[in-house]
Structure 1
Amino acid sequence: MQRYKLFTFLFFVCSWLGISSCSLEEKNLYKPVPEAIYSDAAGINNGVTGVYSQLRGLYGSQKGFTLTTMGTDIFQHGKDGGYKFMDDYSTALNASAGYLYDLWTNCYAGINAANTILDRIDAIAIDEALRNRYKAEVRFLRAHYYYWLTLQFGDVVYTDHETKGVVTNLGRTPKADIWKKMQEDTQFAVDNLDWATQEYGRITKGAALHQLALTDLLLKDYAGAATAAVKVINEGPYQLLPAYASVFDYNNQKNAEILFSVQYINNALFNGDGNQGNAFFTPAYDQFGLLRDVNQGGRPYTRFRPTPFFRNLFDKNDSRFDVTFRIYWFYNNPANLPAGKKLGDTVVWQISPGVTSTIAPNTDNMHWGIKKHDDPTRASPQDLNGFRDYFVYRLSDTYLIAAEALMLDGKPEQGVIYLNKVRSRAAKPGTTMPMLSAAQLNMDAVLDERARELGGEEGRWMDLVRTGKLIDRAKLYNPNAANIKPIHALRPIPQSQRDLSTVPFPQNDGY
């Protein structure tokens, strides 16, 4: 196997350098591969694409969903999966957890790829406007990876230059210092990017302003956060779609509400592991006489189950309930049709002895599903690798950030307008939703609205940490989180990172 990898690597090197053949004859032809890759504009462009590629490890992956969904106020664990300790906060949540190491290495791979571009791009003959655009994109992405790292782990290693060889002597940098660096990087992106891009999926000014608003909130610059968010709303080419359901229409993924999405494509060669969100929220419906079906959730991984709090959070006129939850299933197995039922009829569940309902129960085995990540284009319900783009930033999210920032800046009467705009759009046709008053606008109201609007889209755990609400709300609303303690507002630093460090690298408190 190692020999195969070596020959593959040699073939790659030879092909890249344009050498027609490789031999063992000694010649002074050596040129390090990175120098060859980043020797012209095309190489820089490929390098920038590589920085983007690390996003797929965060968005649409089981790791990304687990680290942002489990153990919050709106999701608890389902029947299957090995990471239930991230929901019950037991002692198994420790520095040896594989997903923590995976996240750490994933983000630092993206950061180092960004740093490599930034260290080399000024030496390349390239149009100056294009140079600044590439710099802006990778600086945005570097800040984005640090957002994940600092919200998950707190103080982490900060580096803004390419890592060459093995480096073991870097300690932890205070997260507030990193947030200031993130603010600088993201402001550079704001200043050097346009509202539109010819290549869909690249960072734009709108995405950069949205991220700047989030970073300003971390730094408690509430006026700055409000200014950035309102600029996206008032000056950007975006708009809230008239219907919430249209945002998640599979055939409408490139819509006016999307500021930034991670790209997945219907081509197995270039789709990596795909967006697998279709599976993780799907219950074990196939254990109840039904066949697996891409239109009913596909392959059931049964990882995340909505909490009772989340299920009961919606007003009766809120269209987001039906778009978010799958509560009905339909008979699709002719071998297991109950008497009097035909294919396509709504499944009738036994909720308790003598009690039946067409609404599915919400137990570990058979719980409500989430429909936002459905992908009916997969060839088989066994396929995990979906093709749906992953929405990272949406305009409705920007509205809620504006509401939060203005509230924290002492302007709730302005902030509530933005929150109510989101609520108004959510009303079912022909109905209205209750609007909040300025006096009702507080952090819990903002988080409740973020749950209704963004539930199941990753980010919840980090939102709760960012607002200082994780411990209180998880303990109050998640039946499995009774053991949660203040230490759990940070994850443990991966043990392998500490083992390899030659300088003091303290663990987070309590681990």
Structure 2
Amino acid sequence: MKHIFKVGTLIICGLFAAVSCDDFVDIDPRYTQDGDNYFLNPNDYQRALIGAYDLMQTSYLDLWIGEVASDNSIAGGESVTDTQGLHQIDAMTHGGVNNELRGLWRFMYSGVARVNFIFVNKDNIEFADKARIMAEASFLRAYYYFELVKFFGGVPLVIDRNLAPRDVSSIPRASAQEVYAQIESDLQVATEVLEWTVPVKGRITKGAALALLGKVYLYQNKFAESATVLDRVITEGPYDLFDNFETMFRVANESSAETVFDIQYVGSEGGSYGCLVCLEGFAAVGFHGIRGYKGPIYGDGNSYNLPTQDLVDAFEDNDPRLGFSVLDIEAFKAEQTETVEYVQGVGGHTGYYNRKYLKRLDELGPGDNDLTSPVNHKVIRFADVLLMAAEAHNRKPSADNATALAYLNRVRTRPSVNMPALNVTGTALTEAIYHERRVEFAGEGLRFFDLVRTGKATDEIEGFVAGKHELFPIPQDEIDLAGAGWLQNPLY
């Protein structure tokens, strides 16, 4: 985020574990400011908000796990011990000791802690832009808790307060319902204050808050509420489907009307493997790159998150989104007039690569360009809003299949996709929406959670155990360090 908000960053510790901060921004001299002499002017609140945005840049974990845990992709990489946690998730053998899951837990709670630090000090002073800053902070807390609840279920719920280490042992796990209630409350605050458009790129908007609220309702099967909120995004917001699916994910098109909520990255600063949370670039892109690649268009990388044949076979005949979403390396190689070379990773090889988030020669960052991609992470697209709204209208108690079908066909028949319109209703329409979500969002990290919330994971994911794998295990180190008697999720 800091290529947009270029000021010094406030260093705030996480809830249960401190997280390293960026090496590439202007930092005030050590010991010159702390919580007792901060939040004394509007700029302090602005800088603290930037710090709260910062943890969203770890979103590569959400994307990876959402694909690798599903039937859409395999972990890949150099070997099965290369990012071993992803391979465990791929095989459904993951447990409470998993670096990727612990990283996600720590990063999200660090984001929560940074937001709470703002709320603890919200009454220090009054100033003109304060309501907007607090609304953005509310959205960020909702986002971090939504990530936590969808991965882990009920989690410790800490609101508007800072905790000393000795206080952690007194915090129980809240129920998932309690966490969702807090998320809804924060997002409702954000939707009431924020505007549809903002002058500063990367800021949260009313549309992002409404879209996330609609998704939160959908994940709880609150279909009527979801339909109402998402209809507002569709009818009131400034959004539309982008006219070129193939180039939608390129840097040049990152501000298109299809983008409802994205996480901003920049390729102008370096980074290192020693601190992935410190990166300004989107790590997923370089890690998805073709291992040992030499040739045109693309750059080499680490061959993670490789699409499966099952995903490829899910596309209908002549659906152009297949070629736009998945790179068939051998077919690509055969089409080129110059030599193309690549290496198959021992961690697995399917012959396919995630083309939406794939390193390209004309979008390279400096230094180790596996870590410095400027490509943004599109978290919610307008197509997602349309298909979520279609599902909500179809599944709500008083089903509105006509509206659901119209939204579905709007996605299918747009000129850059041009698939034939469907004419189905009832459960056939439900299944058509599920199918459309899979092919539309292939490679974007939504598939696992779609399968879980619709009850289809057991049938579609090899090794998935019902009653267990709907949630991921709470990191065992966090349970032990907290000493609060948190029960592990079932069957782990």
Q: Distance in 2 between matches of 1:433 and 1:292?
A: 38
Q: Distance in 2 between matches of 1:379 and 1:119?
A: 38
1:12 and 1:136, CA in 2 relative to 1: closer, same or farther beyond 3 A? closer
- Which runs of structure 2 are paired with 1:125-204 in the superposition (5 Å)? 125-127=126-128, 130-166=129-165, 167=167, 168-204=169-205
Deviates more, 1:133-142 or 1:240-249: 240-249
1:366 and 1:269, CA in 2 relative to 1: closer, same or farther beyond 3 A? closer
Partner in structure 1 of residue 455 of structure 2: 468
Question: Would you say the 8 A contact 1:180–1:219 is kept in 2?
Answer: no
1:370 to 341, 345, 354: 354
SS at 2:301 equivalent: coil
1:367 and 1:48, CA in 2 relative to 1: closer, same or farther beyond 3 A? same
Q: Distance in 1 between matches of 2:326 and 2:34?
A: 49
1:406 to 385, 390, 393: 393
RMSD (CA atoms): 3.1
Q: Distance in 2 between matches of 1:268 and 1:14?
A: 21
Question: Would you say the 8 A contact 1:179–1:218 is kept in 2?
Answer: no
Partner in structure 2 of residue 65 of structure 1: 63
Q: Distance in 2 between matches of 1:343 and 1:172?
A: 55
Q: Distance in 1 between matches of 2:229 and 2:269?
A: 38
SS at 1:254 equivalent: coil
Q: Distance in 1 between matches of 2:145 and 2:110?
A: 11
- Which runs of structure 2 are paired with 1:207-222 in the superposition (5 Å)? 207-222=208-223
1:318 and 1:444, CA in 2 relative to 1: closer, same or farther beyond 3 A? same
Partner in structure 1 of residue 109 of structure 2: 108
- Which runs of structure 2 are paired with 1:257-272 in the superposition (5 Å)? 257-268=258-269, 272=279
Partner in structure 2 of residue 279 of structure 1: 286
Partner in structure 2 of residue 503 of structure 1: 484
Question: Would you say the 8 A contact 1:320–1:426 is kept in 2?
Answer: no
Partner in structure 2 of residue 236 of structure 1: 237
Count matched residues: 450
Q: Distance in 1 between matches of 2:489 and 2:445?
A: 24
2:377 to 390, 402, 406: 390
Q: Tell me the alpha carbon deviations over residues 4-62 of structure 1, each in whole angstroms, 9 at most, x when there is no partner.
A: x9xx9xx9665774xxxxxxxxxxxxxx612333221101001111111100012xx3x
Instruction: State TM-score, norm by structure 1.
Output: 0.81
Question: Would you say the 8 A contact 1:492–1:508 is kept in 2?
Answer: yes
Partner in structure 1 of residue 16 of structure 2: none
Partner in structure 2 of residue 38 of structure 1: 39
Partner in structure 2 of residue 477 of structure 1: none
Q: Tell me the alpha carbon deviations over residues 210-247 of structure 1, each in whole angstroms, 9 at most, x when there is no partner.
A: 01101112333211100111111111011112232242
Partner in structure 2 of residue 433 of structure 1: 420
1:342 and 1:367, CA in 2 relative to 1: closer, same or farther beyond 3 A? closer
SS at 1:369 equivalent: strand
Which amino acid letter does the alignment assign opposite residue 486 of structure 1? Answer: G
Q: Distance in 1 between matches of 2:336 and 2:263?
A: 37
1:401 and 1:366, CA in 2 relative to 1: closer, same or farther beyond 3 A? closer
Partner in structure 2 of residue 314 of structure 1: 315
Partner in structure 2 of residue 295 of structure 1: 297
SS at 2:468 equivalent: helix
Q: Share of identical aligned residues, percent?
A: 25
Q: Distance in 1 between matches of 2:296 and 2:179?
A: 43
SS at 2:217 equivalent: helix
Q: Distance in 1 between matches of 2:332 and 2:412?
A: 35
Q: CA deviation at 1:495?
A: 0.8
Instruction: State TM-score, norm by structure 2.
Output: 0.84
Question: Would you say the 8 A contact 2:74–2:348 is kept in 1?
Answer: no
Q: CA deviation at 1:318?
A: 1.9
Gaps of 5+ in 2: 1-19, 272-277
Q: Distance in 2 between matches of 1:509 and 1:295?
A: 46
Question: Would you say the 8 A contact 2:267–2:365 is kept in 1?
Answer: no
Which amino acid letter does the alignment assign opposite residue 202 of structure 2? Answer: G
Partner in structure 1 of residue 405 of structure 2: 416
SS at 1:132 equivalent: helix
Question: Would you say the 8 A contact 2:241–2:382 is kept in 1?
Answer: yes
Deviates more, 1:227-236 or 1:453-462: 453-462
1:436 and 1:322, CA in 2 relative to 1: closer, same or farther beyond 3 A? farther
SS at 1:458 equivalent: coil
Question: Would you say the 8 A contact 1:370–1:456 is kept in 2?
Answer: yes
Q: Distance in 2 between matches of 1:236 and 1:209?
A: 10
Q: CA deviation at 1:383?
A: 1.7
Bigger radius of gyration? 1
Q: Distance in 2 between matches of 1:492 and 1:248?
A: 32
1:14 and 1:85, CA in 2 relative to 1: closer, same or farther beyond 3 A? closer
Deviates more, 1:484-493 or 1:196-205: 484-493
Question: Would you say the 8 A contact 1:331–1:344 is kept in 2?
Answer: no
Q: Distance in 2 between matches of 1:322 and 1:366?
A: 15
Q: Distance in 1 between matches of 2:443 and 2:98?
A: 23
SS at 1:326 equivalent: strand
1:442 and 1:52, CA in 2 relative to 1: closer, same or farther beyond 3 A? same
1:470 and 1:397, CA in 2 relative to 1: closer, same or farther beyond 3 A? same
Q: Tell me the alpha carbon deviations over residues 420-477 of structure 1, each in whole angstroms, 9 at most, x when there is no partner.
A: 110111655xx54242412454544323211211111123222222333222221xxx
Question: Would you say the 8 A contact 1:292–1:299 is kept in 2?
Answer: yes
Q: CA deviation at 1:187?
A: 0.8
Q: Tell me the alpha carbon deviations over residues 402-436 of structure 1, each in whole angstroms, 9 at most, x when there is no partner.
A: 011111112223212111110111655xx542424
SS at 1:135 equivalent: helix
Which amino acid letter does the alignment assign opposite residue 364 of structure 1? Answer: G
Which amino acid letter does the alignment assign opposite residue 463 of structure 1? Answer: D
Q: Distance in 2 between matches of 1:426 and 1:48?
A: 40
Partner in structure 1 of residue 8 of structure 2: none
